[in-house]
Chain A
């Protein structure tokens, strides 16, 4: 009988995992997949949703149009094929996340001699996150719980999973302590996430109540420096509600803990010797930071463009825009003539991989800051594996979500107070300085608080929404904001018209209502035949 025992060394049997350590191992793996990295195909699964930003007025795909052509098809709304691999891989990565959470719950449920409720609550928090992502991307998705995974794999996709998501976050709120240390879920993060879930369902009162609780009683505050949300120094600061803990150079094989999904999103030239030049801010986004008397111009900002160096060689002279600007622009949009994350002046053309196709701007939030070599991870080819955290929810977002709920409920004053709290930090923060003369600001910064005159019940919703754009640009939120507000087609079609003034090679299709939800990936339907296509995408194409 001993002879007939096969072995598989170096693996873990169920018995060896049947304890708290085993649960911890599986739970860590569930956190590990927040970044979407499960194999070599990372960028489509990326936990920071960068490529979903590319579908909006905030960002261009970058590089040339022919590079990752199928994402170009998506960003131009010219061809949303049901078999586009971005859809399928994102789907696969998120369900891998759900599965890992279910594995934790299953194992913990089978262990009776230790109380593992808290571990289960962490797993359910994460499952809530993955199901939230699935629901807001595809709406009609199948629900795979810890039992269904194996015994009933072929479940139908009957609709959004709001009830299941709320149940998971409620369990987390009830069973998690207030703090479990950096990177881990806790009850306050669960409450904030629950607020977000209510907001997406337009349950304004529920959202307001729970987000107010987080604001008033929770441990969070705004960082003094806006940029600390996007650098190595500010990791796990007071503003972080829940973040993906990307780390580079920590010993993991192939920088496995870094943000592999963001591998392309560095200048295709310039200070890092990086490769790929993806994820470039738009002219529209740069324009949005224009201020008059320190206040943004939501209705007119696109009437004219701030000066740009599209088509201007690096060797040719260029003078940056001299008009009033919100100072957050230069922590968000890399512009020629302005310091680029401490690496010196962005020289324009030569630092941009394919300016003709994707415009003159470089991303700033997700890219390395000078002096933080510990966040710089590299990999096999020219791609980067940044060790910069991605904030799933940061406190400014909580403030703006609460403000939105209040504005929708007619409480303009309450909304304005929260918006102003976000703006006050931008007023107080250190601004980007002129490279040649570091005592001076790099540009003509001008930002002010709203007063009750500017911020009325009539425009409160609009101003809150615009503040989200300014504060949270290039952080993976915009597409979902536009779709839940139901304004994706009008905003995007208008954007295309304006943007072509700068990126003159831009050729796009027309954004339609159906683009507010992604098609269920064809390959997912092919492998699991109980899935049905979203009605928007079952027509001829």
Chain B
């Protein structure tokens, strides 16, 4: 016993670990680390092996060899019950936490190519719903436990030492840098964030390296692959469309003898005859093509616009990082490049990231560190993806007669209204011309901290986080001479913005154990400031023409330069807060905690701008009790109650009237003198204050079979009150004053989160596997809107309102008529309630609607709620298998019971745009003799019987189940790769979205949203579809 060994034991987070048991293997000799994590003992020989063990950490062994100092970094044991949960200002042990949290398995979640971290949340975090379409670079919509308000429902993100509500952060973050993601769902853990916590808090930590890591570890990851479109809708070819026109005319009572009979491209005979050429009015196909005067194209017998518009696209991702540490420092640096071309022509996103995280332990009592991240990204700016002029809606609408290119090799188009080709632009032309529109963003963010521990257990920390994001977007509108509504002057619009902010947090924490009593406390003060400024300028008449991309600069135009006053703004807001949390536990058995936060904001006026948000929680670890049998490794019940707030509002300053000068819409020219005018843009309400939510949570954590089976269940009940709503008025409209905002609404969200997993951790088999299921459910109900309980009316397109959410129902309820069936005979029309048909014969082949109010007549009163996009539940299922060097990962996610309003049917099943294309569904249109059992109303030249107005015809079940990820990997044997200096080498093949099970008839059941507003979700205007991805990847460590 004469070899003296000493050292320090720390966690991968750099925390000193007291109480770690250090034993000489095979003996009972040993010691435990002190409060600073230091130990010293005497070993017998240099061959002795030290075993370090600590709850929540993976046990480690170290051969003494010739060493006298052995420092150990203990890794968290992820599979263990004693996992540490990162909760923002602090970490808590999973065993004693009383709040509802869920942590992501970052490595698995981010093994799928994703442009945003949120894509990895989907189905993998209970209580979290992620809605995203397939458009590259777009921030998905992340919701925690339902939808609390008609305003902003974005959760608060904590990224190391920075805090933000901006979901764009998730796309600027390289997912390979992420070490952990935790969602804080209930009052016990989230309410310490006070006025910003109602929508949940998502805490993201990036990788840091570790002390005493020895030599640096260099990691290189790459993946390369192809994305391919999944499925295209069944559209008509030219011949079929001609038949549709002929049957439409016939159904409308026309005959070939009538002047109104016929079509410019199909003639006016008894049957449609496709013309050979089409073109500019007066074109002569016998003369040479001339782009200016004699533009023409060969008529297509069926351009498949989806096929023309979508194509395979490249995905590539490269990532290099180095991490390591010495006794007094640790670091992680990384750089990454990702490119994701879009499957939709001309779309794409690429991103460069860089990160440097360092931390220095100056001595036992002082630590300094920083995290710095850079992201530069470029997204091709595309025409609006919502509405009936989006490129995908154009693909539904564009005539199949129109070829992509004309006889001169230029884009073909609709040429003239009289050509009978509708007014849908050639979508390939639209997307090709827009491919050079860019939106370049640079974001710099990070934080620095200093941490002092003057006495044992007391830690003082000061942390400053900053964010600076700036971007330039250029949208160039090129001429489109082939179009029937051709643009006459080209235009460039350039927008520049700067978004910046800081968070300065100062807090202290104190932990103390007295016998069986453990007390911990943290408390602090925080100041937050954010500002945003945008300026937009426009210029017209670029003489060099549309092909010279290099001249797309404001100064190169020859028209007047303008700065639309409505598009330029500069705002800022701030928040000042005190917060604290006190936790107590007795023998790790009885748990108690309380938090309090006081926020003061610039958003509201003095008197209403201070909010106090309390919460408390209780827990009982039954498995620590003697009466619980031993095979139950963990059994905990917990409950929490608390209040949180929401201060994110649709306008910068809702308390005072904001008037603006607006040279486009408020100026007036009196007798030749352009005179400035101002309009009230937002009326204020000085009495406005926070939205407050009251949240209750009951949870159960169970682990059996030595922790191989884990089960977590949570029930929550959230009522958000004083929701900020501008009550509707007869005059609600753009630039007509809306009402000011009032604290009127009340919304309830109740639901459950459920997680179940099995892993054969305790087995000694070489076959390791893990299966997990996560289910999230919320039920949303509007309890109150305003004094009159008016329903919440969604936005509109061409005057059609899709959602109308009523008290007692969920938010974003689709609202319209209920289709009972199709009238098959005059007798049916006569027997049914009055639909307003001039004659019974007019009603045959038309929708029959339900007479909901029973007054014998179908009118505007006969509308009801037709479903909503809120799912019954969402789920994720994973299976991971490892055998020797092989590994397999499979992940399925899905949504059940959500409805989608398929607006594209109004474009393709009815003559909303008569000369546009139709869906294959109309081939089964009702016809009294040829197809009396038809499933679609009779064809007509015009919209009949309000059939394009909202009705149950458009509402479809949006449930889906999707194999999101299938990955097979092989890690090369260590003895082989070590000869070339590698410590790990893995190659893998991966497929995303290999199959989808859904009844939804649109392009893709995963859709974005309309109007950027949660009262209008679930409406499909032709959403950017998800693609299948096939990748090959390589990951090596040196």
Which A residues contact B (CB, under 8 angstroms)? 3-14, 17, 22, 25-34, 37-39, 63-67, 69-70, 72-73, 78-79, 81-89, 92-93, 95-96, 98-100, 103, 142, 144, 149-150, 153-155, 157, 181-184, 235-236, 245-247, 249-254, 256-257, 268-269, 273-277, 314, 350, 353-357, 378-383, 504-507, 509-510, 521-531, 533, 538-541
Q: Which listed residue, B260, B533, B571, B600, touches A505 by the CB 8 Å rule?
A: B260
Q: Which listed residue, B674, B676, B736, B913, touches A38 by the CB 8 Å rule?
A: B736
- Answer yes or no: B65 CB below 8 A from chain A CBs: no
Q: How far is the CA of A383 from the CA of B483 in the complex (A)?
A: 13
B730–A524 touching, CB < 8 Å: yes
- Answer yes or no: B968 CB below 8 A from chain A CBs: no
A382–B485 touching, CB < 8 Å: yes
- Identify which of B601, B662, B912 gathers the most chain A CB atoms within 10 Å of its CB: B662
B259–A257 touching, CB < 8 Å: no
Known: A4-B574, A256-B663, A523-B799. A98 touches B731 (CB 8 A): yes
A355–B669 touching, CB < 8 Å: no
Q: How far is the CA of A269 from the CA of B293 in the complex (A)?
A: 13
B732–A250 touching, CB < 8 Å: no
CB distance from A107 to the nearest CB of B (A): 9
Known: A251-B560, A539-B836. A10 touches B728 (CB 8 A): no
A275–B737 touching, CB < 8 Å: no
A-B pairs, top 4 by smallest CB distance, nearest first, are: A85-B799, A182-B671, A28-B677, A96-B736
CB distance from B880 to the nearest CB of A (A): 48
A256–B574 touching, CB < 8 Å: no
- Answer yes or no: B1 CB below 8 A from chain A CBs: no
A-B contact pairs, 16 of them (CB 8 A): A4-B609, A8-B571, A13-B658, A25-B676, A32-B677, A63-B417, A64-B915, A66-B911, A67-B417, A83-B799, A99-B736, A247-B669, A247-B672, A251-B674, A256-B663, A526-B801
Closest residue on chain B to residue A509 by CB atoms:
B838
Which B residues contact A (CB, under 8 angstroms)? 252, 259-260, 281-282, 416-418, 420, 422-423, 477, 485-489, 491, 527, 529, 531, 533, 538, 560, 562-565, 568-574, 576, 600-603, 609, 652-653, 656-672, 674-681, 683, 727-737, 739-740, 788, 790-791, 793, 796, 798-801, 804, 833-836, 838, 857-860, 911-915, 941-944, 946, 949
B423–A67 touching, CB < 8 Å: yes
> What 20 new A-B contacts, CB under 8 Å, besides A3-B527, A13-B656, A527-B790?
A8-B658, A9-B571, A11-B658, A25-B676, A26-B678, A28-B677, A30-B677, A34-B668, A81-B949, A103-B737, A247-B669, A251-B663, A268-B417, A275-B485, A381-B486, A381-B487, A507-B260, A523-B796, A528-B730, A540-B834
Closest residue on chain A to residue B559 by CB atoms:
A378
Closest residue on chain B to residue A257 by CB atoms:
B669
Closest residue on chain B to residue A76 by CB atoms:
B942
Q: How far is the CA of A531 from the CA of B796 in the complex (A)?
A: 19
B669–A245 touching, CB < 8 Å: yes
A10–B281 touching, CB < 8 Å: no
Q: Which listed residue, A25, A33, A507, A523, touches B661 by the CB 8 Å rule?
A: A25
Q: Which listed residue, A30, A67, A253, touches B564 by the CB 8 Å rule?
A: A253
Q: How far is the CA of A339 from the CA of B911 in the complex (A)?
A: 38
A350–B733 touching, CB < 8 Å: no
Residues in A neighbouring B733, C-beta threshold 8 A: 38, 92-93, 95-96
A39–B735 touching, CB < 8 Å: yes
Closest residue on chain B to residue A182 by CB atoms:
B671
CB distance from A179 to the nearest CB of B (A): 12
Residues in A neighbouring B485, C-beta threshold 8 A: 275-276, 381-383
Q: How far is the CA of A32 from the CA of B281 in the complex (A)?
A: 39
B790–A154 touching, CB < 8 Å: yes
Residues in B neighbouring A27, C-beta threshold 8 A: 677
Q: Which listed residue, A39, A86, A355, touches B418 by the CB 8 Å rule?
A: A355
Closest residue on chain A to residue B681 by CB atoms:
A11
CB distance from A321 to the nearest CB of B (A): 22
Q: Which listed residue, B420, B652, B913, B915, touches A8 by the CB 8 Å rule?
A: B652
Q: How far is the CA of A350 from the CA of B800 in the complex (A)?
A: 35
Q: Which listed residue, B417, B652, B911, B941, touches A277 by the CB 8 Å rule?
A: B417
Residues in A neighbouring B736, C-beta threshold 8 A: 38, 92, 95-96, 99-100
A17–B678 touching, CB < 8 Å: yes
Residues in B neighbouring A182, C-beta threshold 8 A: 670-672
B942–A253 touching, CB < 8 Å: no
Closest residue on chain B to residue A68 by CB atoms:
B423
Q: How far is the CA of A522 from the CA of B838 in the complex (A)?
A: 22
Q: How far is the CA of A320 from the CA of B601 in the complex (A)?
A: 75
Closest residue on chain A to residue B789 by CB atoms:
A529
Closest residue on chain A to residue B835 by CB atoms:
A540
Q: How far is the CA of A319 from the CA of B687 in the complex (A)?
A: 73
A66–B676 touching, CB < 8 Å: no
Residues in A neighbouring B665, C-beta threshold 8 A: 29, 32-33, 37-39, 256
Known: A99-B737, A245-B669. A275 touches B571 (CB 8 A): no
Residues in A neighbouring B570, C-beta threshold 8 A: 7-10
Q: How far is the CA of A4 from the CA of B538 in the complex (A)?
A: 35
Q: How far is the CA of A524 from the CA of B657 in the complex (A)?
A: 24
Q: How far is the CA of A268 from the CA of B418 in the complex (A)?
A: 10
Q: How far is the CA of A78 from the CA of B941 in the complex (A)?
A: 12
Known: A66-B913, A382-B485, A526-B791. A6 touches B573 (CB 8 A): yes
A253–B563 touching, CB < 8 Å: yes
Closest residue on chain A to residue B420 by CB atoms:
A64
B735–A5 touching, CB < 8 Å: no
Known: A11-B660, A182-B670, A245-B670. A79 touches B943 (CB 8 A): yes
Closest residue on chain B to residue A184 by CB atoms:
B670
B564–A382 touching, CB < 8 Å: no
